[in-house]
Structure formats: structure tokens, C-alpha cells
Structure 1
């Protein structure tokens, strides 16, 4: 039942989000403003925006659920984050800051040509919409508990609300709402932990002792077994995941580009990375703490709940009115910050990578601005439909579903960026041929996982390995083809680590992006 103080906290939060969207709607008169906010943001703002974007409701609900039902092995995905962040600060950010790019996939066009650029764009759009549908479903869970209305109705309402301020306010509304949402998210995380500890007779010590006795802090088996979710399986998936996010995820790259300077973009990445890992660890700890809590205070209602509903149930039954509403707002904030970023980033890449390069030059910037808003509306409708579909799928936990989806549909996007950054030999033809082979290989592995092949035709590997194998297949094939077809003859100045100009030479004053892209297509 929705308590008045909880409702007040949620309404206050939602009103603030709408106000931000309306305020910034008046400042979006060009695509440069709508997509990258005139590249004017400071590092701390972008850093918190990154946090809000990447730390979603899948974090707030699914990570505690994963720790509650199993252990901490899925945390291994995030333990590699600091190492990949170093690469981002030293290498990836300077690549994207040069030439005033707007999309991550413009780089693929410059490096390999039109086909890899289109593949990267379409792959990103597909994965992003699946991820957003998952997030929208997760945020509907606590709201359903509060209001008693159907999941479908909640998904539709939340989707329409988020779409409104995102479409109206562009990237500025997205970034500033993300900042607010990141702060609310951190407060909600701390409140959940505090109230669990306060109720337990032994406090933190009881959690540590009972959790250790039940092996709830285990990081998984350290055996090398491709068929199991071992520590190494999950850690390698984490490397693939974070390399893909830091090197080619439009949500992240768009924030590199929206910063006022390379230094501010680097500062943002450091701020985000320094906060995110402790926060993920805290969410796993909350899941273990919930397990210990309900051992001490058994509740028969838990038998009727899905794993992802346990934390919302605790919030709404054990935390005082008002504060519970604030925590529910934090869950909503986690979802909204990921969804608004996804909607804006998809509209950006559709316009920048799929429309502008292939439409007549007669279309004005105003046409593309209006197109971006229309695309955002269409994406919102698709995501709402996907959220309803997710509510009807049986699953161990949504975090498990997320990892499987990433492996199945992630393709070789990370491999494309890595081969672009770190090799000089591979040209557009070698990359395109290897890309075709990798897509076929990805389909073969995916169909095997779904049971569409006879057992004798399948590789006996866990679904988490698919992304790693596909990217490895692409890298090896592309490099081998480069020796058969010859090294790249394209001008690679500033496009690989071996041909990158020193910072301060022409790092952000190089050949205009539009001219370079025109010559690459």
C-alpha cells in the first residue's frame, strides 16, 4: 500500500526530473547542443553522469538478488574495471576527443570504412534496447509493490515519463538528471544497508560470520572449466564487457565528447571508476545481508516472491515511510539515468551514423534535430514493449539474463575497436571479411545455446564465453587476412596508438571529422 510520505518523496523526485527536462528544452536549437551539450561540461558532472548511466536498476535490484541466491562470483565482472579505466584515460579518450567526433562509430568509419561503422551502430542499438527493456522491467517491481497496479501499466507509465524529459531536454537534461539520480542512488544504497544492520542483533559481524558460514562471499571456483560460471569465466567476461563499454559504448563515449576538455574527460572517468566499484561491492554485500536477515527473521512471504523482488519487499515492509519512498526513488533513479542516456545515445547514432552519411546534403540541421526527437519517441515505444516482454520471462535473476544477452548479442564490436586502436596492418576489407565470419560464428554459438543444433554440432562452453570467443575469432581472422591481403593503405594518422599525434600537437585540432569521413566512405 502506498503510504503518504513515500508518495510525497517519489512525487518530489519526479517533479524535479520533469523541471530539469523542461528547463533544458529551451536550449536545444542545434544537434550539437542536443547530442553533446556544446562540449561544455566539467569533469565532476560528467563523472557522476557516467555513474548514473552505467549503475542501473539492474545494479540496485539484480546484484543483491544474485548475492542473495548464490554468492559474489558475479562481482568478478566488475573487479577488472580499474585496469580497463587506465586504458580509457591513457588511450581511448584522446582517440575520441580528436576531430570533434559525436559518435563512437565515426571512428570505425575513419579507421575501417562504412560497413564496420554501420555494423557497430546497429549492434549498439540492438544491445542498448535489450538492456533498456530489462531495466524498465526491473524498476516496475518496487512500484508494483507500492501501488498494486499491473507490471504492464507501470512499465508504460515509467517509459512515457522518461521519454518526455529526455526528448525535450536532450543531453543536457540527461546529464544533469543523471547527476541528481546518482546522488539519490548512493543515498538509497546506504539507507538499505543501514536499516538491515540496525535490525540484526549482531550487526555487521553477524553478516560476516553467517555469510562466511554459508559460503556467500565466494567468488566462485578458480578451476579452469569452460562449462561453469567459474571466477575466470566471469572475469574474462568482465574484461570484454568493460573494454567494450570504455572503448565503444556510445553512452560512455558521448560523455567523453561532452566534456569541455580532454583533461576534464579523464577526470570524469577517474571519478566514475573510483565510485562505481565500491558501490557494486556494497550492493553484493546488501544481498548477503538480506540472506542473513531473513535467516534471523524468517518470512513465509518470501516463498511467493521472485529473487529480484526480495530487496523491494524489504524496503517496503521494514523501512519507515518517507525513507522507503526515497529508496524507491533511488531505484527509479537508477533506471531513469540508464534509460534516458540510452534513448539519447540511440537517437544520436541513428542521426550521425545512419542518416547524415547517406542522405542528401540539402537537409538542414533543424531536420536532423527533429529527426532525433522522433527517433527517441520510436525507441521509447520499442523499449516499453520489451519491458513488458521481460516481465513474462522466467529467469534466475535479471543480472544473469543481462550477462547472457551481452554474450549472445555483443558480437565483435570490442574486437573492432581494439584492432583499430592497436594495429596498423588491418584495413577495411580485412575487417569487413572478418566481421562477416564473426557474425556467422556468433550465430552458430547462439543457436547452439538455444538448442537449435543437434548436441554433436555444438561447442560445450558456457554462454558467458560466447562474447570472448567471437571477439577472439574476429581478431585472429582479421589479422590473418591482413597478411593475405596486405597492410592497410589508408592514412592512419591519429587513428592508432602507433600513429597518434602527441597530445598538444593537433590532438583536438585535426582534420575536420566530416572531411575525413567523406574520404573513408
Structure 2
């Protein structure tokens, strides 16, 4: 039932046509790259595209990989209920792009590695490498389950498709083209799917502007409804979203994604030069801005339409993440193919993220577990990698079932990155910043950090945060033109627990009002700082911090001084002063083993002291 009292439209034939065409194009891209590379059985070709990728498609792939169906469905619902402060994440994206491009990228690129967790083996030992790999696999499988569940929820709301049938179909399609085409198929399908996602947002924004008589009216309604709450500088760490939680907490969280997460790092180290890799990160920053702006405007559009008849309070939808699909069928259902475009947008976000995750999971399994322990030919490794892609696809489909128990898909996804990504970020930074850090201190800091943030995360699920810290902005059902069985007063703090179906144990300990109520965005910086501080203290106490560390494993002044345009040796004939030196890889589990690397001297900075001066 729409707010006008008329039945909400259903999927038409043209909607199915648009949706199926999107699927077929995605599958075709995978098949095309599989056929094109059939004579190239190299595992590097499958996982890294032969390290010949260009900046623009990689940038769009980086954006699409984590701007998934969680963004398409979850962010507009977030803005609808909590306001446009989500747009402040654009500041975090800028910080993250600079940090990833100028600090993390130079280290990973010059080491010539496939898995980011190879670094942990080089800097610490094999145990550290295995721990990092294991945590990454857990993180990625959980996150991928969420992004498979999100569009299935949308399809179930709009079309009446069986929820679990859609879950399986989603996983199978992206597993198919990822297993066939490798990284190149993943990147180029991401490019196509990114365009579809933006098109879906634009359809909602444009149609909403027409219905409301212009975007100025949308802006005015949002302003008077308190949705334009961009600058909330409240320092309270228990508040869900403020300027500080988003800028500080969001920067740490997204650095854990773009700085060290295999799914992202694997893309930009596949670029043909360091210049292309850095450019891909900066172009990705622009892509993140564009996606965030479109998602926020979609949320404001939805609020302007439903500000007097909230479908959630009126029980027209079962969950916040079904709000935007409901809007699409309510106001775009009369335009054949447009609802199909929106569903394709949500589905595209899922395909891009799941395929990226599957490809990355296969990469870390091969590079960190199989290759160090088994002597396998390139051809065998390629077939094993394809088999692993298929296996992880099936596992991720199974994990999607768990996501139905996690509430809001957006907050669930970001919470997982805080609990697991935060400790991993501290693990890497400890090794990159401090030459005296050792494996005992690093592993101890990681374990304690993970346990503490997991404790906070679980506590927050058992004892929901205080309602005054998380209650949505006011919503009303006074303008509904149909009978509503719920009370007609706006949703406020006093009615929030009833309308949101929040339940918790009868006894609420005092710690639940502080520690468990910490903003989910602060989990990542909390975990990172615990891992860093504890790791440093234990490294000094164990007395093993005097071992000499190869300077190429550390962030040096040279990494920050070398200019953005610096490319790989040989890419530009005029760069005669670039020197390449390759040593044999030998990782036997010792504290600081030797490894393959590229020593790139900045043409304008030939002072040898730059390469030995640590930050």
C-alpha cells in the first residue's frame, strides 16, 4: 500500500528484461576474459591481471568493491532515519586515499607481492602471516555474506522472489564469472556495475525531484525535518554519528579497508606502474565522493516523500533496508524498466563486492598457505585457484544466512570491519612505523586488541546502546491515507524501543551504558591504538627489538618525498636514474627474512640517506 492508499506496483516484463540483461553482460565479461587469456595459464595472470591494469578501470573497481548493495540500500535508509551527516564520510575518504597512496602503496608495490599478508611474514614471521591471513578470511566471508543478503532483501520486497533463492542466485552468478575470468573479469565487471549503481541512484533522485516539483522543495523539507545535520561536533563517544566519530573513526576504518585489505590492495598493485596505482586511488576518492553524494541525495529524496507517512512505522516494510526498494516501486513502478534498473543497481553492487572478495580469498589462500608449504607448478596453481574461487563462493552464500540476524546491513558491515580490520591495521602499522617492534609484541598486541573489540561488539549486540544516543530523527505517519494500526504520534525517544523492536535482558549492567554503548565507528581506532601501544610495550620488554630490519619493510621519508608521478623502472625512457635490484625470496620463519623487492630511487632525490632515515 502506497502513501496515497493505492497498491504498490509490481515488477513488469521490462523490469525483468533490464535485470536479466545486466546479469548477462556481467557473465559475458567473465567469459570474454576467460577466452582471451586461455593461453595464459599463469597464476599471476589470473590473480593480478599480469600486473598490466590501468588506473581508470582499477579506480572504478576500487569504488565498486566496497560501495556495494550495502551502500545502494543501506545508506539512503541511514540518511532517511538519521540525517545527511553521513556525507561527512567524504572527509574520511580523502584522508584514506592520501594515506593509502603515499604510505601503504609504496611498500606493497616495491615488494612485488601478491598477498598483503606476505608482508607480515617478511616483517615478523610465518606465524604472524598465518594469523593475518586467517583473520582476513573470517572478515571477508562475514562481510560478503552481508552484501549477498542486502540485495536479496530488496528483491524479496519488490518482486516477491523467494529470499533464499535470490541469495543462492546472487552467489552463483558472481562465482561463475570470477572463477572463469580472474582479476581482469572482476575489474571490468566492476566498471560496468559501477555505472549501473550510479544510474539507479540518479533514477530515484530525478524522479523524486519531478514528483516534488524541484530539488529545492526536497532540500527545504529535509531542512525542516532536521535531516541536514552535517556539522554535529558533539565529542560524546557514545553518540552513533557525529563529526568526530565519522572523521576519526571512519578514517581508521576505511584505512583498514584501502590500506591493508587484500581485496583493495590486490587491485592497485595490479597496475602497470606505481604512477597508475596512485592515480587509481585518487580517482577512486572522487568515485567515493560521487557515490556518497548520490546515496545521501537519494535518502533526502525519500524523506521528502515519506516525511508525513513513514512506511516503517506504518508497517508497510519490515526493515529499514527495505525503504528504498519500497520507494522505487511506489513512485517508479509506472515506468517500465526503471524498477528493474534499481534492482540491477543493488545487484551490481553485490556482484562487484562478492567477486572481489572471492578473488582476494583465493589469492591469500594460495599465496599464504599453499605456495609456502607445497611445491606446485604454475598450471596446477591456476586450477587450484579457480577451485578455491568456487569453494569460497559457496561458503559466502552460506554466510548470507547469518546476515539476516544482524539488523541494519550498513552498521553490521562497518562493525565487522571495526572488530577485525582495526587490529589488523595496528598489526601492519606497528611493523611499518617502528623498527624495534618484534613478532612477540605484534602478535600479543593483535590478540589483545581483537579480544577487546570483540567483547565490545558482542556486548553492544546483547545490550543495545542507550536510546538517547541512537534514536532516529522524528518520523510521522499523520499524513498516511490508509488505516494504520500503530499509534499516530511521531517516533521519538519514548516510542523508539517499541517501533524498532529492540529487546534486551532485564538486567542492564553499568558497563552497558559506557563501554558497550561506544559508537561502532570508534571500534577501529580503539583496536588500532591498543595493538600499537601494547605491541610496542611488549616488544621493548622482550628485549628482541634490536634486530636489524630491512629498510624496505618500513615507511621511510623517501616514501613520502618521492613524487606522485614516479612510475616503475623502464616505463619512461627518460628516468635513467631508476635502479632495480631483485633478491631471492627466502622466508623460513625467521624474525626478518630476506625477500624479493624493487629498490626505486627517486630521480630528483639521490641522497642515499633518504633511504635509511626512518619516520
Q: Which residue of 2 aligns with 1:258?
A: 270
Q: Which residue of 1 aligns with 2:536?
A: 479
Unaligned runs of 5+ in 1: none
Instruction: Give the 3 Å change call, closer, same or farther, for CA 76–206 of structure 1 in structure 2.
Output: same
Instruction: Quote how far apart the aligned CAs of 1:352 are.
Output: 0.6
Find 1:8's aligned residue among 6, 14, 17: 17
Secondary structure of 1:80's match?
helix
CA–CA separation in structure 2 for the residues paired with 1:186 and 1:275: 10
Instruction: Quote how far apart the aligned CAs of 1:346 are.
Output: 0.5
Q: Does 1:209 align with 2:267?
A: no
Matches within 5 A, 1:171-182: 171-182=183-194
Instruction: Give the 3 Å change call, closer, same or farther, for CA 479–151 of structure 1 in structure 2.
Output: same
Secondary structure of 2:414's match?
helix
CA–CA separation in structure 2 for the residues paired with 1:370 and 1:279: 36
Task: Using structure 1 for the length normalisation, give the TM-score.
Answer: 0.92
CA–CA separation in structure 2 for the residues paired with 1:345 and 1:242: 17
Q: Which residue of 2 aligns with 1:360?
A: 374
Contact 2:420 2:450 survives alignment (8 Å): no
Contact 1:96 1:256 survives alignment (8 Å): no
Find 2:94's aligned residue among 63, 82, 89: 82
CA–CA separation in structure 2 for the residues paired with 1:300 and 1:76: 26
Count of matched residue pairs? 516
Instruction: Give the 3 Å change call, closer, same or farther, for CA 304–513 of structure 1 in structure 2.
Output: farther
Secondary structure of 2:363's match?
helix
Find 2:27's aligned residue among 6, 18, 36: 18
CA RMSD of aligned residues (A): 2.6
CA–CA separation in structure 1 for the residues paired with 2:583 and 2:12: 56
Matches within 5 A, 1:64-83: 64-83=76-95
Instruction: Give the 3 Å change call, closer, same or farther, for CA 277–472 of structure 1 in structure 2.
Output: same
1:46-92 per-residue CA deviation (whole Å, 9 max, x = no partner) reads: 11111111210101110001011221334444421112211222222
Task: Using structure 2 for the length normalisation, give the TM-score.
Answer: 0.78
Contact 2:419 2:527 survives alignment (8 Å): no
Q: Which residue of 2 aligns with 1:337?
A: 352
Instruction: Give the 3 Å change call, closer, same or farther, for CA 446–373 of structure 1 in structure 2.
Output: same
Larger helix fraction of residues = 1
CA–CA separation in structure 2 for the residues paired with 1:148 and 1:47: 35
Q: Does 1:41 align with 2:53?
A: yes
1:242-275 per-residue CA deviation (whole Å, 9 max, x = no partner) reads: 2112220111110111101101111111111012
Instruction: Give the 3 Å change call, closer, same or farther, for CA 51–302 of structure 1 in structure 2.
Output: farther
Instruction: Quote how far apart the aligned CAs of 1:171 are.
Output: 0.7
CA–CA separation in structure 2 for the residues paired with 1:311 and 1:437: 40
Instruction: Quote how far apart the aligned CAs of 1:467 are.
Output: 2.5
Instruction: Quote how far apart the aligned CAs of 1:488 are.
Output: 4.4
1:176-215 per-residue CA deviation (whole Å, 9 max, x = no partner) reads: 11111111222222122111111113x2111111111111
Q: Which residue of 2 aligns with 1:372?
A: 385
Q: Which residue of 1 aligns with 2:411?
A: 400
CA–CA separation in structure 1 for the residues paired with 2:311 and 2:437: 60
Contact 1:52 1:178 survives alignment (8 Å): yes
CA–CA separation in structure 2 for the residues paired with 1:375 and 1:267: 31
